[in-house]
Structure 1
């Protein structure tokens, strides 16, 4: 039509085209002789990123990567609720309320699946229109059968995650192979329900790098694709039933590219099994904010972490998202934090419009390069473990590699190389805890597998020590700080000292021993002990007979001062020496006193 406006190409001809080489030359000039390599960002994964990227970066990839497929609907907002015991009716009621207030579905973590009120769930949350995910530790097929029976003729929507105690999750073993086959059979013909899970969050929430998470997820998926199919269940059926759970950390761009790399390598994996190309786009990714990066200190910073984590997840292409309440480490589920967590996803979708654009990262010089490099590194890791026998044979090797990555993270946090806002930098020294440190340290559910745990437990134990000293309490305590945590304490302490204050440090403690803090009104002493010494000590304090096989000591053990002091001596705990400083001085400096 004559009145249709004609688009005019936008150009900036007055600005000359600048090549990467010219930018690098200018960079070298501005650095005045310094090595430009000093500006590179070194990732924990073992490779580095450049300080800037240009169009030549895309040419270096060979071919322009295709954008990820646009989902039919924006990501689903799926809060997580845990049913510790009983039939779960209260949690079902909470789920119904969440659906009325912005949630699109619910993820139920069931610790006792046989007791769960499936029919009540079907009454309160109509299964024909409700996205329901379930994580169970036993009875997966039985629970799924009950769900099918509770809504006859209904195609379920959601997922099932069978969290086997034999972990890492995703590796089908003889113990539950038949269970998984039953799950696939029960949901055949239900394209919106994924009955098999690959739990990459198992690795991410224990400190694995992004490369390890992607690689190990592929190893787990390969084990399922190799083990589950039989005469009745095809490999294509298994592939169509798979979905991936991923933990999302606060490293904004890296986490985004982690999901993108996973989708690309998924296509490569399925091709390796000779499966139809049409299955590539059927992968469903459920993302959750990572427990590995949550903190108890200055816990409102978790709200900010969860914001960047959620954005990374949805911009990276997650199909569903669970945001944890900011206070979930120490507080019972409550309306306030639950509403904030639920509304974060709502705000990103309804106000920010993040679900409106297909693959926002597509074509970015930096993000396409990072996606490609992460995918290449992860594929090398995957192939190495497959060559070593794959899962479950390489389970021990995986766990050792994750432990190494986690230990390095502890070291970086202790030395200040890795900043955790509110914990090792920009601390709120006058913070008033909204929880009782002693009760939290004694809690069996307190998560001790997080990146900030060594720093947190030291702060909490120190606060208790000074409180005990001020009250002139007649009791003493031993706090389990973790394995090899004395080195983390040493690094944290040295990082606070001025150069002229730094002493020669004696050997802290042998590798593999537990780090402890003995605290009484009179003194505080950093110590170490073998796991066997600590186990015998804890059994004595709690009067647990030796014939009782299973006993997991709490983090905090307390008794009257003479008893505890004598037990520490008898069971052979050794003091950690900090030459020139007492433990009291070390703790006071770390505590900011």
Structure 2
């Protein structure tokens, strides 16, 4: 018989009970006749969050839902290390140091897994007890085979994520079935190693809503569960080796509810495949701070974003977490920012005490309702994609839906409806860049898929233009601003004008075309081109032969003025016109000059 004392109901007798009707009456009184509906918070997912929730909200859900499964131990602090082509011994040494300074594991993102020093890794880290993740772009089974050979008889801990290219994992499944099945076979006797990844972060880091991230992750998992089982590999084996990667954005409560909704729907998905419910408790969620929300302007604000993202992740039930360095968009990896990122998890766990309570959001009227709404919306979307053939058949539809949402986000940021602190509001007008804008824009690694990109690249390109004009440079440049960014610039510019100032605005350009800024010492011109025109233009400027298929142009291309001016004409770039204003006047007004 347990000697644990029975729980005593908590009572606050000195406070009179307040009914829902009384709360609503007080709300109406404080609003002084204003409709409470005006306080609703519309989410990009297509529904709104109410300003007030009450105990009846749980009754509407059929009673308080049971707490969700939670890690036996607090989440694992797993920093990510990018490993360039080569053996990666320096990154392995960094991993050893990180594990001695607060990390619980490490995630190697490998540019070339074939040359990675697996035997050196096994020498430096005890693979039987160290949580190690690996992201590879090719031959995932080959890397696993090398790990097994380097540490014979060892049951690995960690995960493997196979990211074959710029498409969602599961979208090109036919080419990789054999390799993924071999990964399942190699790790069946390794319960603490998950060899199949459902990469929800792919969708989140391209601007997908929370609903889309959950739904499309489930579509990816469904494709794996449907395609990989054979006579030798059961669906249960496939399910047991699956795990999910999710990018967590700064929207604190919705992101927490997103992870909770994913866990609930995972049980529904497994049930649909006739798999035991016990496998649901086995699901591991690896969370990472969102690259979609990262900025280059006022970059220390990324530290604050990462804090709310990390809190959402761990309070939402993530099993492991990677916090990115605040300067990773524009700076080389360095110990200072890596230490800050690593210590964020340590502070939340050791000083804030997060991770001590199972499913801390359980029972919250607001969060339980929000979790249920996201789950319902996501399941409806999941079913719609499955009805269209699922992945990979519906890949184009999935990417188009994400692109539409991302375009709307760009518009909201440009109009100020959606705030990015330090970028489109509360800017630092005297900010001195800690990076070289020209070098950054020329870098092929510069991430142009972020929410802030159209706004920040316009500021960077404008700064470079005025610098070029002041120095009377003899070179010109074309800066890629993004898809449909001219329309965003127009809306932002027009919103700055007084009604009597607003001229008739010409149509920006056809949807889907690329916006560019042509800049020389004499002039700056906003232009647009089709993706094909820009690709041919970039190949000409950089003298890239057409037979080289995989060429991604940098955001900044420069040459002598005569060559660039003629190339812009030959390849058919069209000028965007704002009647009554030159491009320089538009840029100067946008920059507050």
Note the alpha carbon deviations across 1:241-297, whole angstroms, 9 max, x for none: 000000000000011010000000001111111111111100000000011000011
Aligned twin of 2:528: 528
Aligned twin of 2:567: 567
- Tell me if the contact between 2:257 and 2:316 (Cα under 8 Å) persists in the aligned partners: yes
- Tell me if the contact between 2:171 and 2:395 (Cα under 8 Å) persists in the aligned partners: no
Rounded Cα–Cα distance in structure 2 between residues aligned with 1:313 and 1:535:
39
Aligned twin of 1:57: 57
Comparing 527-536 and 291-300, the one that deviates more: 527-536
Rounded Cα–Cα distance in structure 1 between residues aligned with 2:357 and 2:5:
25
SS in 1 for 2:427: coil
Q: How many residues align?
A: 590
Rounded Cα–Cα distance in structure 2 between residues aligned with 1:558 and 1:288:
35
Comparing 537-546 and 57-66, the one that deviates more: 537-546
| Pairing of 1:161-176 with structure 2 (within 5 A) | 161-165=161-165, 167-171=167-171, 173-176=173-176
Rounded Cα–Cα distance in structure 1 between residues aligned with 2:282 and 2:262:
13
Rounded Cα–Cα distance in structure 1 between residues aligned with 2:401 and 2:175:
25
- Tell me if the contact between 1:172 and 1:228 (Cα under 8 Å) persists in the aligned partners: no
Note the alpha carbon deviations across 1:449-502, whole angstroms, 9 max, x for none: 111110011011000001111111111111111111101112222333344433
Structure 1 residue 172, shift from structure 2 partner: 6.5
Change (3 A) 1:335 1:43: same
Structure 1 residue 90, shift from structure 2 partner: 0.8
Aligned twin of 2:119: 119
Aligned twin of 1:555: 555
Comparing 494-503 and 562-571, the one that deviates more: 494-503
Q: Structure 1 residue 110 and structure 2 residue 113: aligned? A: no
Aligned twin of 1:177: 177
Q: Structure 1 residue 399 and structure 2 residue 393: aligned? A: no
Structure 1 residue 12, shift from structure 2 partner: 3.7
Unaligned runs of 5+ in 1: none
Q: Structure 1 residue 321 and structure 2 residue 326: aligned? A: no
Q: Structure 1 residue 48 and structure 2 residue 48: aligned? A: yes
Aligned twin of 1:95: 95
| Pairing of 1:403-552 with structure 2 (within 5 A) | 403-552=403-552
SS in 1 for 2:506: coil
Rounded Cα–Cα distance in structure 2 between residues aligned with 1:544 and 1:122:
41
Change (3 A) 1:294 1:231: same
Aligned twin of 1:364: 364
Note the alpha carbon deviations across 1:373-400, whole angstroms, 9 max, x for none: 1001101011111111111111111000
Structure 1 residue 549, shift from structure 2 partner: 4.0
SS in 1 for 2:174: coil
- Tell me if the contact between 2:75 and 2:355 (Cα under 8 Å) persists in the aligned partners: yes
Rounded Cα–Cα distance in structure 2 between residues aligned with 1:129 and 1:346:
20
TM-score (norm 2): 0.96
| Pairing of 1:259-270 with structure 2 (within 5 A) | 259-270=259-270
- Tell me if the contact between 1:170 and 1:223 (Cα under 8 Å) persists in the aligned partners: yes
Aligned twin of 2:75: 75
Q: Structure 1 residue 332 and structure 2 residue 332: aligned? A: yes
- Tell me if the contact between 1:87 and 1:116 (Cα under 8 Å) persists in the aligned partners: yes
Rounded Cα–Cα distance in structure 1 between residues aligned with 2:167 and 2:527:
33
Q: Structure 1 residue 35 and structure 2 residue 27: aligned? A: no
Comparing 12-21 and 193-202, the one that deviates more: 12-21
SS in 2 for 1:403: helix
CA RMSD of aligned residues (A): 1.7
Aligned twin of 2:352: 352
Structure 1 residue 14, shift from structure 2 partner: 4.9
Aligned twin of 1:200: 200
- Tell me if the contact between 1:170 and 1:197 (Cα under 8 Å) persists in the aligned partners: no
| Pairing of 1:239-318 with structure 2 (within 5 A) | 239-318=239-318
Rounded Cα–Cα distance in structure 2 between residues aligned with 1:170 and 1:393:
10
Change (3 A) 1:582 1:166: closer
- Tell me if the contact between 1:172 and 1:224 (Cα under 8 Å) persists in the aligned partners: no
- Tell me if the contact between 1:138 and 1:162 (Cα under 8 Å) persists in the aligned partners: yes
Note the alpha carbon deviations across 1:497-530, whole angstroms, 9 max, x for none: 3444333322111112111111111111111122
Rounded Cα–Cα distance in structure 1 between residues aligned with 2:217 and 2:383:
12
- Tell me if the contact between 1:172 and 1:227 (Cα under 8 Å) persists in the aligned partners: no
SS in 2 for 1:174: helix
Structure 1 residue 349, shift from structure 2 partner: 0.7
TM-score (norm 1): 0.96
Note the alpha carbon deviations across 1:532-591, whole angstroms, 9 max, x for none: 322232233233344544433221111122222232233322221112222111111222
Structure 1 residue 29, shift from structure 2 partner: 3.7
SS in 2 for 1:525: strand
Rounded Cα–Cα distance in structure 1 between residues aligned with 2:27 and 2:502:
37
- Tell me if the contact between 2:170 and 2:392 (Cα under 8 Å) persists in the aligned partners: no
Unaligned runs of 5+ in 2: none
Rounded Cα–Cα distance in structure 2 between residues aligned with 1:543 and 1:520:
21
Note the alpha carbon deviations across 1:315-355, whole angstroms, 9 max, x for none: 00000000000010111110000000001011111111101
Comparing 20-29 and 260-269, the one that deviates more: 20-29
- Tell me if the contact between 1:218 and 1:382 (Cα under 8 Å) persists in the aligned partners: yes
- Tell me if the contact between 2:261 and 2:375 (Cα under 8 Å) persists in the aligned partners: yes
Rounded Cα–Cα distance in structure 2 between residues aligned with 1:549 and 1:172:
19
Change (3 A) 1:507 1:434: same
Structure 1 residue 189, shift from structure 2 partner: 1.6
Aligned twin of 1:383: 383
Structure 1 residue 11, shift from structure 2 partner: 3.2
Change (3 A) 1:322 1:549: closer
Aligned twin of 1:186: 186
SS in 2 for 1:295: coil
Rounded Cα–Cα distance in structure 2 between residues aligned with 1:548 and 1:7:
71
- Tell me if the contact between 1:315 and 1:361 (Cα under 8 Å) persists in the aligned partners: yes
Change (3 A) 1:149 1:540: closer
Structure 1 residue 240, shift from structure 2 partner: 0.5
SS in 1 for 2:306: helix
SS in 2 for 1:217: helix
Structure 1 residue 42, shift from structure 2 partner: 0.2
Comparing 443-452 and 6-15, the one that deviates more: 6-15
Rounded Cα–Cα distance in structure 1 between residues aligned with 2:8 and 2:276:
43
